[in-house]
Amino acid sequence: MEKEINFEKELERLKEIVSLIQQKNLSLDESLKLYEEGSKIVKVLNEELEKAEKKVEKVIDIDK
């Protein structure tokens, strides 16, 4: 069973991670952990966008 993704919530977390890393007051280890988390979020969000794009393409094809 696929985990339900809250796109907006994940996007907000990604923005938070970027902000934290940009503050430059984190240790290297903390920055790397946040970077890894952010990378995973980007992958998940890209997958969700691809799914949405395919759905839109199907709708467009149906309307033709």
Tokens 């969000």, residue located: 45
User: Given a cut of 60, is residue 7 above it in pLDDT?
Assistant: yes
Three-state DSSP state, 47: helix
What type of residue sits at position 38?
A: G
pLDDT of residue 1: 45
**Residue closest to 13 by CA, chosen among 41, 36, 33:** 41
Share of the chain above pLDDT 90, in %: 78
Mean pLDDT value across residues 6-31: 95
Mean pLDDT value across residues 18-24: 94
Kindly report the pTM of this predicted structure.
0.81
User: Given a cut of 90, is residue 63 above it in pLDDT?
Assistant: no
Q: How many helices (H) and strands (E) does the chain have?
A: 2, 0
